[in-house]
Structure 1
Amino acid sequence: MFTPSSHKETDLDRLHQQIEQTRLAVLVTHGAQGLQASHLPLLLDRSQGSNGTLYGHFARANKQWQELANGAEALVVFAGPDAYVSAGYYPSKVDDPRTVPTWNYVTVHAWGKAEVYHDAEHLLAIVQRLSDHHEQRQSKPWSVDEAPADYMAGMLKAIVGFALPIERLQGTRKLSQNRSAIDIEGVRNGLANSTDPLDNQLAALMGQP
């Protein structure tokens, strides 16, 4: 991922925050089947490894898991808010019209090789942790224990789990850092006043130190 030095994010806590805030990641591999990509909800365990470990599962019918089992490196993309930045947001345009629109965004890329799981014990643990994590937002959280044991046993046979220790992380926070303070404020105000929720999210990030 091309990232100018002014837009690089190297703070591990911020990188982890973006991973945790991304509800659906994109896992990419290249192997015997060519380029493959799957959209997956993943869970980050910050305590496992120097950069954390990602946990998730594939449908067994999705043959991409075979690439991981064969030792292929995976690239996982965690895309954050993004927004179109109109040249009209720049107050400096009044005095110098030499400006063009651009796009601001936040994203994190993670690389690593995964361990693949087929046994029911590991699969149940992954499913339980993922569901518990997302169910905490519900007024009446659902638990894996509520499903009949024989039904869950059948469902687990239909998936393949994995743990992916993160070997390398790269983050980009393109938030108009290359512009003057007055232009940054102009972009932030323009996005904050937008009716698009993603624009508003990006504006809020621009207001953070």
Structure 2
Amino acid sequence: MYNQAAFLEERPEVLHALLRAHPLGTLIVASGGSVSADLIPFILYPDEGGHGVLRAHVARANPVWQALRDGGECLVLFQGPHAYVSPSWYASKAEHHKVVPTWNYAMVQARGTARVVEDGAWLHRALSDLTAVHEAGLPQPWQLSDAPPDFLAATMKAIVGIEIPLASLAGKWKANQNRSQADREGVVQGLRTQPAGGAMAALVQATLE
């Protein structure tokens, strides 16, 4: 990933926070002369291994797990907030007009060698953890035990687990850090006028604090 020093994010707690807030990752696998990309919800176990462990599951009918069966290296992309930035928001536009549009975003790239898991206890734990995270806060959180045992058993036979001990996590926070304070303040104001600009406005605002 091309990354400039101004946009480099290496703090584990910040990278982990993006993974938790945006857990639908793009699993990219190169195998047999082709490249596949699958959107998969992951859960991060930050205290396991050197950089944490990602766990997920896919349908047994999905060929991606077979490509990883022998311990294939893979890349998982996690996309955070992103937004178009108009040059009209920069204070410097009024001074010299030497400004152009850009796109702000935050992302994390996770790399590691995956292993395929078909163990029932592992799958049960992974499914329990995943649903517990996403059901938390709902009025009536759903649990695996709510499903009939025979239905759950059949469902688990139709999925395969994927575990990725992370070799590295790399973050890029492109939030106008290379612009002046006045320009960034203008971007914050501009983004706040956009329907979906609030999250990126907060990231740019954080560069001012």
Q: Which runs of 5+ in 2 are unaligned?
A: none
Structure 1 residue identity aligned to 2:119: D
Distance 2:155 2:33 in 1: 26
Distance 1:151 1:191 in 2: 47
Does residue 19 (structure 1) correspond to residue 19 (structure 2)? The answer is yes
Aligned 1:11-90 pairs, distance under 5 A: 11-32=11-32, 34-90=34-90
Q: Is the 8 A contact 2:23 2:43 kept in 1?
A: no
Partner of residue 131, structure 2: 131
Distance 1:164 1:71 in 2: 10
TM-score (norm: length of structure 2)? 0.96
Partner of residue 172, structure 2: 172
Distance 2:167 2:175 in 1: 26
Distance 2:150 2:187 in 1: 55
What are the superposed Cα offsets for residues 166-194 of structure 1, whole Å, 9 maximum, x if unpaired?
A: 10111000000111110011111110122
Other structure's SS at 1:177 match = coil
Does residue 202 (structure 1) correspond to residue 200 (structure 2)? The answer is yes
Partner of residue 91, structure 2: 91
Q: Is the 8 A contact 2:73 2:113 kept in 1?
A: yes
- State the 4+ residue runs in structure 1 displaced beyond 3 angstroms: none
What are the superposed Cα offsets for residues 128-167 of structure 1, whole Å, 9 maximum, x if unpaired?
A: 1111111113111000001111111100000000211110
CA offset at residue 119 of structure 1?
A: 1.9
Structure 1 residue identity aligned to 2:66: Q
Number of equivalent positions: 207
Distance 1:91 1:33 in 2: 49
> Over aligned residues, Cα RMSD in angstroms?
1.0
Distance 1:183 1:21 in 2: 28
Q: Which runs of 5+ in 1 are unaligned?
A: none
Distance 1:58 1:128 in 2: 15
CA offset at residue 23 of structure 1?
A: 3.3
CA offset at residue 104 of structure 1?
A: 0.5
Q: Is the 8 A contact 1:192 1:204 kept in 2?
A: no
Aligned 1:91-110 pairs, distance under 5 A: 91-110=91-110
Give the share of equivalent positions with the same residue, in percent. Answer: 38
